Structure 1
Amino acid sequence: MTDDQTHGLAGATADAGPPADGRARDHAAAVERALAALDLDTKVRLLSGQDMWTLPAVPEIGLRSLVMSDGPVGVRGREWSAADPSVALPGPTALAATWDPALARRAGHLLAQEARRKGVHVLLAPTVNLHRSPLGGRHFECYSEDPLLTGVIGAGYVRGVQEGGVAATVKHFVGNDAETDRFTVDNRIAPRPLRELYLAPFEHLVENARPWAVMTAYNQVNGTTMTEHRALVQGVLRGEWGFDGCNVSDWTAARDTVRALRGGLDVAMPGPRTVYGAPLAEVVRTGEVAESEVDDAVRRVLLLAARTGCLDGVPPAVGPSAAPGGIDGREVARDLARRGCVLLRNEPVAGARRALPLDGAGLRRVAVIGAAAQDARVLGGGSATVFPEAVVSPLEGLRAALPEGVEVTYAAGAEARTRVPHARDGFTLSARYLDADGQLLAEAAQSDGEVQVLGRFPKGVTRHTLHAVELTGSYLPQCGGSHTFAVSGTGRLRLTVGGAVLFDDRCAPASDDPFEAFMRPAERRVTAELPAGAPVEVTLRFVPGGADPGESLDGLRFALGHHPPRPDAEARIAAAVRAAEEADVTIVVVATTEEVESEGFDRADLRLPGRQDELVTRVAAANPHTVVVVNAGSPVELPWREQVPAVLLSWFPGQEAGAALADVLLGAHEPGGRLPTTWPARLADAPVTAVTPDGGQLHYSEGVFIGYRAWQRSDAAPAYPFGHGLGYTDWEYESLDTTPDSVRVRVRNAGDRPGREVVQIYLAPTADAAPDAPERPERWLAGFAVVEAGPGESAEAEIPLPDRAFAVWDSESEGPAASGDGARPSEAADGWRRVKGVYLVEAARSVADRWLTAEVTVG
């Protein structure tokens, strides 16, 4: 068993952070030489983005421009459009569902390779905020409700990225657990939950993966905005944990020059206009801050440059020959997707064998149903969006994998989208960028009807010369009738189809959140009667105004949507039912979309959009062998789950979605995933749902009781508990031996095919625990291991039990974490207290499915 497969609270300690002592000394010396050659104006310029994604170069000291890029499922690079495609991996919840940091490390290696290919030095990922509430809009972009699982998976990811010579940026430090009013919300978190839950993944990553960068969040914590939070950044992150990397603001999060510098913020992004640069030089010259304080921040930027190979005269932390290369992105994406699939339910069909895996050789006709089966939903919305070169849909994957002679029929049934999809099939489009005189500045081909720029306009275009963009071309209708067109964007929009103006109006921002207003502008729909087979000219003219990604930034976004004539909703569901009746097996793919799960807004409910629940119910009644694939990044209600024999959760599965799904459904690979978060039956049952501030504040009044810790105190039972997941074989737990330091578990594959098991270890205090112990959960995850074995074979896992697993944060020795101002690193107090007593050590398949128990006494 490797360090990447077996984990206690401390996790593996492989070093992918700062280099060995000799290299560290070389870096430190190079940084001091470079710093000594800089004047004040150059120093402050290095702390401020020169544009959306980069820091300035200083050729005089051999410093090249540092390039940053969003992740976490791919490396977008400086462009944010399909013109610069990226490998798209499964979403973070899917990665966490593998419970395997070795796979996370492998993903990191691929992303580092992608970053090097795109000239990126700093990847803005991973996101290690917690699943406090299932309504959190970026739930899909975070890993888990549990800080240990989050920390271990995140550490594997960081190690992989940095072993490829690229900096990982752990975000969002700290408390960015929801999106509502995220720029201003003051999250009121007591010292104990702050330490035991929300800071814990960051602490784990700093100690075990040593990231080269951290991103501070928009929100406040206990009255202080995180870009100015001296207590948590200087006191805890740097002082207690020894973080020596660079602190980057979330984009536009820095608000005050002096408070940000004193709070420990090194880089204010994006540029060129930030609170640093010229404003920082001014406060140094007036004496408000000392130049030595600026020097500390510049040292950290230069160290980041040295580690990533952007500073001459010193080798990078990872040499070109040491960085993993030659990685097949499609294969990694496919492997992660199938290993992250969670089989929630798998019952026998009509008294015969279990519904999954399917026997391809025994099938004659398979019905594939659901709009998402054809229009694959592979990632969530917001800054995590990348554009893969190609996506394998579930329908394509199944058609390719099923044996020749098996007929595959398809019916959309019900829509997952609430908006009209971008114009694509039958359209030939280009975007023409025009100045105020109508002169052409640039032209670019479009793969679909969305025109998006964020960070850099096409060559020849600037924000000052651009007046309008025309998305123009032709459309060849395949069927006649009433075609629906949709336009979206903030500014003036005029749509002309076949010479007729169908829409001409100015559209206002749809949200007070500038990111949401930019990314999700309001949609307007119109219709046009078009005959089949007759091409028409289409032009959507856009004059931007009223919303952009930030002051002085290059950016615009607008879109043309289209769907052809089609039967009404009832007729589409009826057609799906008929297809199910005529099939040996029916596979229904239900989904959320970026309209439901995205950065910029929280969810209003956990229902599947549209009439998808009705679709499943009616199809299941028509065919007893119905398998439902849930294509969502975070929990949704499944009111029909006991009406079907099999439910498979594929998350947001990345670009190889359909290929991985076919592997799992047909049994070429078993579903390897376990739930990283509890799956409620109903939103009303969820213990923590508050994501909307009251008077600007959001009180984390539940304390340490979130996720399964809170469900243990609830009268309601979840649909599926934390850690749950089935495979295609059976396991027996044979023995459990424990000491206060480690657990050894022996399991046996009792089935007839190879399998993968996630052995989970929980601690539960007994009545013999210390009488002065604070209130604690009934049990909590203390470690886990991934094992594999063939039929009849046994496997053994040894899992450490570190001291922290038995400790609580003592609020009476809280140190600097409770307040935001004035704390010095020297004031940090170690408030961790080991709670003595007798504990149950439980070996389990989920938090609710515990197989073996032993006792351990902690003195």
Structure 2
Amino acid sequence: MAADVQVRPEADQVRVDALLKKMTLEDKFNLVRGMTEDDSTNQGQAGYLPGVPRLGVPPLRLADGPPGVLTRKESIIPTSTMGLAATFSKQDAYDNGVVIGKEASRLGIDVALEPFINMFRDSGFRRGWNTYGEDPLLTGSMGAQVIKGIQGQGVMAQAKHLVGYDMTGFDVSIPEQALHEVYLAPFQDAIDAGVASIMCSYNKLNGEFACGNEHLLEQVLRNQMGFKGFVTSDWGGVHSASYIKKGMDMEMPGRIDEKHPFWDIMRSYYDNTAIQQPALHTSMGSMKKVFARPMPEEWMVGQRPNVMMGQFPNDEKPQNLFLALRDKTVKEQDIERAASRVLGQIERFGLLDKGSHQPQSTPMEDGLSAIVRRTSEHSAVLLKNRDNVLPLTGDDLKGLAMIGPGAVQPVALGVSAEHSIGMPQLQVGPADALHALEPQAKINVAVANDMTGIAIPADRVSFDGKPGWAREQEGQNHRDGQLAFTAATGNALAANTLPSWKTRLNIEQEGDYNLNLQMLGAGAVLKVDGKIIGESSSLKNALHGDVVHPGQDALMPTTDGLNNVRRMVKLSRGEHLLEVSTYNDTSGAPVQVRLAWVTPQMREVNRAQALAAARGAKKVIFFAWARTDPQFGLPGDQDKLIEEIAAINPNLVVVLNTSTPVAMPWLGKVKGLVQMWWTGDEGGPATANILTGRSNPAGRLPFTWAHSLQDYPATDPRYPERGQQLDGVVSYTEGVNLGYRWFESQHKAPLFAFGYGLSYSHFDYSALKTGRLPNGDLKVDFKLTNSGPVAGDEVPQLYLSAPQKQIQGAEFAPQTLVGFDRISLKAGETRDVSIIVPLRKLQYWATQSKSWQLPQGERTLRLASASDNVRLSQTVPF
């Protein structure tokens, strides 16, 4: 793998100023306001900055993550961000940044919109899975390394979202000490890592929208924290032309027209045209089809608010910068200051000389898949291993049952959102991966829940008295027995073919039917009895552009690699009109379309097969999955099925493909539990390696796993102001006591503690010593021994207690993570380990002096293998 690109720590300001002097006002606007890229070069990325090509200032493409890079072209999907956090490995974080940077460069992307370094505070927040967990040190450490990996490839990183974007709501109040110590701390780590850009968040922070919060952006971010790059709005996060005076440099998406899916929820304020955009309708319009829709198994528990419209207030008299310049409320020097910050990073990254990245037709670089597979293995958290049910033995493999859709396919991406969609050709299911490792193994695979189904049989459909489907294509009429045109069956349609079909489906038994609309090479829409039931989410200028990707509309693609829009429809006896239409996705790929179903009878057969497989197995591996609904639970009937299997066969291991904690009412009835997260493209082989002991699990939980949803500070019914308010107003009254800090302050035992994870080996700690370095840092030395039978990794964690003497006006958590490392040891090996705790991590934010202060007196330093499992401790004077 090629060496990192050298990016200078600071821009050549003399060169930047000289270029600015040559620019017209309109040139400067093209550095602070996005627009839609021309179709001939557009990569389907999130944003585009036109630049000033006549002066050698190239345009910039900005693409979503994390994880990975989202454009109209396929790209590898790494392990989920929460899974990466679970590695507790700064090297893995850096390597994943390399993957992102190299893929961004290959796909023609100049700015990667990641890392996502908000806190996992509220499990009701639908983007909580996107975070690095509940601890600011872990989040900041991992995010900083991701930034270094990305920017080492010559691609800018953009840390997001500043700040308080941690909840279901939009009007956020955070106490000052908690703001600095918890929520801003990861952004300080990003700044120290040299991040090029920071994205300001949608929400209000303490009364002001973050993107127009002058105190936050100028006084805190730039003056106190030392940020030198540019601030970009989240898409539609600007509500006034005056933001350019308050520290917000670049508006995205910028100038758009009424054909853009964001038209009725976003407008451009950083524009220099006399024609003002109209007031917003806030209907979400065509964007409704882009947002994730529930699959048949997903259901809601309680009410979660939909407060997104509060993030896009309807300004009845919008005024852009054209008017602001005319009435002198904004001056050209304000625009030039913002343009200078953007131009400075373009110069710093060498793009004035080599131009912006251009898309390449080359394949993904060798070695990136290995990083994704290794990360997936390193992320695995062994939560339970009673009777050493894992790793699987040779005898186990003589009769193993693997149950669940995740046995056949890796749950690579979970929620299809602002991240890469993955490369299905890389994806191998855990069962096939295990067969490849153990060719003699006897594995009985039963999906239990068939997410692909079969094409609706020809004998069940007719139209106008004739069997089959009536197809209309380019003015010609055809008749098809089944709606099943796929590459796998050799009858895919020619590229840019856009047919439509009609038929009447005869239902003999009333019930709930899964109708799965499957496609690739075109978008598609399904109607039942004249009502739209499902449609693909591809849409021009939204997410990955208009190109359909295999995994974008469900938990995973079909087993033959098609996009899968899964809906459950209650059908009465008799005939029902089915209509399927297609639309162009500009991919130029052969058009594949299929309408598959799973009938109630088929579901019963599939379930019976799973129970039979469990009954006849030596051991059972059950693959459970969840996306975001229900909150704190497994979708569908997975809990019930696990209970039934456990009653049949007690040698049951559950593999979780989730990214946030879920309730597990069956936990006491299973012997093994492995958290594999959303695995990325290489999750199948990684899972097989963990189950067989070829890789020793050493992941640690980046969040506290509670017994119930009500145990968390944001969902504790005693404090309704903390989250999930229908009006979107949220107050972080828990202060610094987020996550494990809250549980300890309340003397509440979790199900699994922050930092928890088992191993196939054992580790001993000894010889703890501490000392202060001349710069004030704390040096911690100890010995770590692998006393178990196999090689493995251990994750030592350092926690610092609150000062013994209370400090007026300040709050302290019972203990705070101040250091960690991941250490590899052979069986029987002992190693001397040193961890440096920076001075800043020993300090607290004093609200009266508005400065970092070191509390005086003694504090207890705890060396632990989890937040609740202290191995050694020592009193440290300060």
1:396-415: CA deviation from partner (whole Å, max 9, x where unpaired): 44443442222211122357
| Mapping 1:525-674, distance limit 5 Å | 525=569, 540-541=580-581, 562-565=596-599, 567=601, 572-593=606-627, 596=628, 605-674=631-700
Distance across 2 between alignment mates of 1:402 and 1:365: 15
Distance change >3 Å, CA 664–CA 508, structure 1 → 2: closer
Distance change >3 Å, CA 282–CA 560, structure 1 → 2: farther
Distance across 1 between alignment mates of 2:141 and 2:771: 22
Residue 310 of structure 1 corresponds to 351
1:252-299: CA deviation from partner (whole Å, max 9, x where unpaired): 1111111x1122111111132311121324422331111111111111
Shift, 1:523, TM fit: 5.5
Distance across 2 between alignment mates of 1:766 and 1:638: 37
| 442, 447, 457: which one aligns with 1:412 | 447
Shift, 1:765, TM fit: 3.3
| 743, 747, 754: which one aligns with 2:784 | 747
> Is the counterpart of residue 729 in structure 1 residue 773 in structure 2?
no
SS in 2 for 1:853: strand
Residue 338 of structure 2 corresponds to 297
Shift, 1:542, TM fit: 6.7
Shift, 1:311, TM fit: 1.8
Distance across 1 between alignment mates of 2:603 and 2:531: 30
| Mapping 1:180-191, distance limit 5 Å | 180-181=168-169, 185-191=170-176
Asked if the contact 1:121/1:308 (under 8 Å) is kept, the reply is: no
Residue 699 of structure 1 corresponds to 731
SS in 2 for 1:712: helix
Residue 439 of structure 1 corresponds to none
> Is the counterpart of residue 834 in structure 1 residue 854 in structure 2?
yes
| Mapping 1:139-178, distance limit 5 Å | 139-178=128-167
> Is the counterpart of residue 392 in structure 1 residue 424 in structure 2?
no
1:582-619: CA deviation from partner (whole Å, max 9, x where unpaired): 111110000013xx2xxxxxx55311011111111121
Asked if the contact 2:430/2:688 (under 8 Å) is kept, the reply is: no
| 493, 496, 503: which one aligns with 2:529 | 503
| 124, 127, 150: which one aligns with 2:113 | 124
Gaps of 5+ in 1: 1-14, 349-353, 436-444, 449-458, 461-468, 531-536, 545-558, 597-602, 815-830
Residue 17 of structure 2 corresponds to 32
Give the structure, 1 or 2, with the largest relative contact order (CA under 8 Å, sep 6 or more). 1
SS in 2 for 1:237: helix
Question: What residue identity is the alignment partner of 1:648?
Answer: V
Distance across 1 between alignment mates of 2:738 and 2:13: 42
Distance change >3 Å, CA 292–CA 611, structure 1 → 2: same
1:734-768: CA deviation from partner (whole Å, max 9, x where unpaired): 2200124211121101011111111101111364x
> Is the counterpart of residue 368 in structure 1 residue 402 in structure 2?
yes
| Mapping 1:167-566, distance limit 5 Å | 167-178=156-167, 180-181=168-169, 185-207=170-192, 209-258=193-242, 260-273=243-256, 274-278=268-272, 279-312=320-353, 326-348=365-387, 354-360=388-394, 363-379=397-413, 380-390=415-425, 392-414=427-449, 470=498, 472=500, 484-485=514-515, 502-505=528-531, 525=569, 540-541=580-581, 562-565=596-599
Asked if the contact 2:797/2:863 (under 8 Å) is kept, the reply is: yes
SS in 2 for 1:54: strand
Asked if the contact 2:84/2:379 (under 8 Å) is kept, the reply is: yes
Residue 801 of structure 1 corresponds to 837
Distance change >3 Å, CA 510–CA 385, structure 1 → 2: closer
Residue 874 of structure 2 corresponds to 854
Shift, 1:246, TM fit: 1.5
RMSD: 4.0
Distance change >3 Å, CA 632–CA 432, structure 1 → 2: farther
Question: What residue identity is the alignment partner of 1:285?
Answer: R
SS in 1 for 2:352: coil
| 727, 744, 756: which one aligns with 1:712 | 744
Shift, 1:361, TM fit: 6.0
SS in 2 for 1:727: coil
Distance change >3 Å, CA 787–CA 543, structure 1 → 2: closer
SS in 2 for 1:49: strand
Residue 765 of structure 1 corresponds to 802
Distance change >3 Å, CA 152–CA 494, structure 1 → 2: closer
SS in 1 for 2:126: coil
Shift, 1:71, TM fit: 1.2
| Mapping 1:53-92, distance limit 5 Å | 53-77=47-71, 79=72, 84-92=73-81
1:51-82: CA deviation from partner (whole Å, max 9, x where unpaired): 152111422101221111111121123x2xxx
Shift, 1:685, TM fit: 2.4
SS in 1 for 2:848: helix
Distance across 2 between alignment mates of 1:299 and 1:76: 28
SS in 2 for 1:804: helix
Distance across 1 between alignment mates of 2:525 and 2:784: 64
SS in 1 for 2:632: coil
Shift, 1:775, TM fit: 3.4
1:499-552: CA deviation from partner (whole Å, max 9, x where unpaired): xx84323689999xx999x9989967376999xxxxxx99623799xxxxxxxx
Shift, 1:702, TM fit: 1.1
SS in 2 for 1:277: coil
Asked if the contact 1:90/1:652 (under 8 Å) is kept, the reply is: yes
Question: What residue identity is the alignment partner of 2:180?
Answer: R
Question: What residue identity is the alignment partner of 1:677?
Answer: F
Distance across 2 between alignment mates of 1:48 and 1:87: 30
Shift, 1:787, TM fit: 1.2
Residue 279 of structure 2 corresponds to none
SS in 2 for 1:616: helix
> Is the counterpart of residue 46 in structure 1 residue 31 in structure 2?
yes
1:116-168: CA deviation from partner (whole Å, max 9, x where unpaired): 11111100001000011222211111001000000000011000000110001
Question: What residue identity is the alignment partner of 2:352?
Answer: L
Distance change >3 Å, CA 266–CA 561, structure 1 → 2: farther
Gaps of 5+ in 2: 37-45, 257-267, 273-319, 459-468, 476-484, 489-494, 547-551, 554-564, 585-592, 716-721, 773-777
Asked if the contact 2:111/2:155 (under 8 Å) is kept, the reply is: yes
- What TM-score does the superposition give when structure 2 sets the normalisation length? 0.76
Question: What residue identity is the alignment partner of 2:211?
Answer: T
| 843, 846, 850: which one aligns with 1:810 | 846
SS in 1 for 2:191: helix
Distance across 2 between alignment mates of 1:345 and 1:527: 43
State the percentage of identical aligned residues: 29
Residue 685 of structure 1 corresponds to 711
Distance across 2 between alignment mates of 1:509 and 1:187: 35
Distance change >3 Å, CA 787–CA 298, structure 1 → 2: same
Shift, 1:484, TM fit: 4.1
Distance across 1 between alignment mates of 2:706 and 2:139: 20
Distance across 1 between alignment mates of 2:204 and 2:472: 42
Question: What residue identity is the alignment partner of 1:485?
Answer: L
Residue 788 of structure 1 corresponds to 824
Residue 275 of structure 2 corresponds to none
Question: What residue identity is the alignment partner of 1:621?
Answer: A
SS in 2 for 1:812: coil
Distance across 1 between alignment mates of 2:408 and 2:220: 48
